[in-house]
Amino acid sequence: MILKSAQIAARLLDPKDRLVITPNPTEEALGKGSAAVDLRLGTWFLTLRPARMPYLGIGSISEARATKTHYVKFGESYYLHPNNFALGVTLEWLKLPKDLAGYVVGKSSWGRRGLIIATATGVHPGFTGCLTLELTNAGEMPILLEPGMRVCQLFLHSTIGDLDSTERSTFSCRRKPVLGSLTRDPMSDALREHGRQISRGTMVGGLLGGMRRAMTDGSFSLPDEEVDLALGFLLPNPHSAEVEEGTGLLAGKFASGQIFRIGRSGMLLSLPGIFAALHTIWASLQPIAPFAVALAVLAMVKEARGAIGRLEPDAAAVIWAAYLRSKGESQLISFYQAVNAERTARGLDASNESQIAGVVDKLISMQILAFEKNADPTLAEWILVRPD
């Protein structure tokens, strides 16, 4: 049952289980004959700082880093420009009794001017504090927001039976707008972990497949689509197996010291040219690419420079070396030693790419298994690590 304004007024005076709206609504705010109470805009605002964060998501960034607080005193204005978004707050402090719930909607007169208010509108029984308002200007003209102006309306419903208790949420007892935190729950955790296990296998497979192909493919050419895939860390979805395969392919070819033709440019690049290109890619990727991929590119430049001509063309080892480097020099050395020991034990020719690739492949697989067993970060996760 929705409360009429007269009933709302009565509940404001009810000594037993009082509805609190402070400052008290004026007669105009209670609107004779209406079924809601108007609420006013408060003095505090919160805006997002997109330059401080790559995205918004669960646990992505702390509120303090993600937002900027503004105070607008009475008599001054906040300009909300078209397509801009800000959090505001009601001037009124509410306390809902246990038998009332509500929802907030914008004033239609503002809505017709493009101002959208309160898209997350539910107010639970027992809520205490000022309501955070989500303010968006969907119109074409800047909108002047003034603290104290009537901006939204609160509809109140009586619940069937009282709640036994009301627990204060993180949004409770606040006089400023709050972004709040997004938290995981057991079900979303389970679903997420399931999905990750599938993609982990695919990605690792893709990466290794790409490296293997790089070592055995004698064409030395890279089709357009493979260049795109190889540079896939620029794409919005770095989780795809195709991207990982492309990355591995490019890495393998570069690091094995092959000279090849780059995609649609048709240019034949020498090794120094490729190094220069890698440097450029590294520099441009550093701020935006997954950290580990960029690290791998950098490592390839360094490692390949020394590796060509004196070491086996173990491209995968080069990639792996970047990872191991992050784990410590001793592990890097031991990995090289393991490759060489295995090669020697098998009597393999250092110049036989496919044989070396097989050894490296096997060792990497063993390492991955070992890491997974020890609950260490997997290669796939490592590659997708983002800088904080």
Point out the residues that are catalytic. Answer: 134
Asked if residue 9 binds other proteins (CB under 8 A), the reply is no
Q: Are strands 115-117 and 44-48 parallel, antiparallel or unpaired?
A: unpaired
d(CA 104, CA 106): 7
Closer residue to other proteins in complex, CB, 77/188: 77
Closer residue to other proteins in complex, CB, 177/290: 177
Contact (CB, 8 A) for 169 and 128: no
φ, ψ of residue 270 in degrees (nearest 5): -80, 170
CB of 89 to other proteins, least distance (A): 11
Asked if residue 177 binds other proteins (CB under 8 A), the reply is no
Q: Which of 8, 31, 93, 278 binds other proteins (CB under 8 A)?
A: 93
CB of 102 to other proteins, least distance (A): 17
Name which of residues 104 to 143 contact other proteins (CB under 8 A). Answer: 128-130
3-state secondary structure 194-212: HHHHHHHHHHHHHHHHHHH
Asked if residue 175 binds other proteins (CB under 8 A), the reply is yes
Q: How many residues does the chain have?
A: 388
Asked if residue 98 binds other proteins (CB under 8 A), the reply is no
Q: Tell me the window of 28-36, 102-110, 166-174, 370-378 that interacts with other proteins (CB under 8 A).
A: 166-174
Helices of type H across the chain? 5-13, 27-30, 63-66, 108-111, 186-216, 224-230, 241-255, 271-285, 291-307, 315-327, 329-346, 353-373, 379-383
H or E segment at 59? none
Q: Which of 52, 63, 71, 280 binds other proteins (CB under 8 A)?
A: 71
3-state secondary structure 284-308: HHCCCCCHHHHHHHHHHHHHHHHHC
Total chain residues near other proteins (CB under 8 A) = 21
Q: Tell me the window of 66-74, 153-161, 292-300, 345-353 that interacts with other proteins (CB under 8 A).
A: 66-74
Q: Which residues bind other proteins (CB under 8 A)?
A: 20, 22-24, 43, 69-71, 73-74, 91, 93, 95, 128-130, 168, 172-175
